[in-house]
Amino acid sequence: MSELETVRASHGEKAETVAAVHQRLKAAKMAIVTEYRGLTVQQMTRLRRQIRDVSGEYQVIKNTLVRRALKDTGFGDLEQLLEGPNGWVFAYDDPVVLSKALIKFADDNDKLAIKGGVFEGRFMDTAGVKVLSQMPSKPELQAKLLALINAPATQLLRTIQEPGAQMVRLLELLRKAKGE
């Protein structure tokens, strides 16, 4: 392969990578930039697995390629964080659950630093990502809503059943009194 062919192949691969990252950004509900310097291969593998388990993806991508991929997306504010080696977290489902997993991993592994992220078009610094991780997740909110919806019906059922329960308690007291 000549040098010119190698350069063309390299440009083609870069264009494919930029397009793939652009598609990830369009599909993602949230993106977070991290600094991973000092993590071992085992730690990186564990991080990727934990992120994948909560419908996310962790990728290390060159800053020059990400800079191109950020154009025409809602994640343009992340360009200011493109210094040094960066790892990218893409959330495809519940950003709260993903941020909880990422914060927990960062707390357990001090080599992973969260630089910031974008959620619903808004830039978040490290503190913003931590605040997001402390919010209730979608399943927790659904459970609370279901409990609120069921509460009146449960209370009504108790109210309807109470006269019968009182009668049973009264009869039980009378039976005990006669037995003595």
Q: Mean pLDDT of successive 10-residue segments in the chain (180 residues)?
A: 47 83 89 92 94 93 89 86 91 91 92 91 89 79 75 76 82 82
Non-local CB neighbours of 13 within 8 Å, separated by 6+ positions: none
pLDDT at 32: 93
Q: Per DSSP, which regions of 69-167 are E strands?
A: 87-91, 113-119, 122-125
pTM (predicted TM-score): 0.71
93 and 71 inside one domain: yes
CATH code for the domain in which residue 117 is found: 3.30.70.1730
pLDDT at 58: 94
Segments forming the whole domain that contains residue 151:
136-180
Backbone angles phi, psi at 120, to 5 degrees: 50, 40
pLDDT at 7: 43
Q: State how many domains the chain has.
A: 2
102 and 143 inside one domain: no
CB 133 within 8 A of CB 103: yes
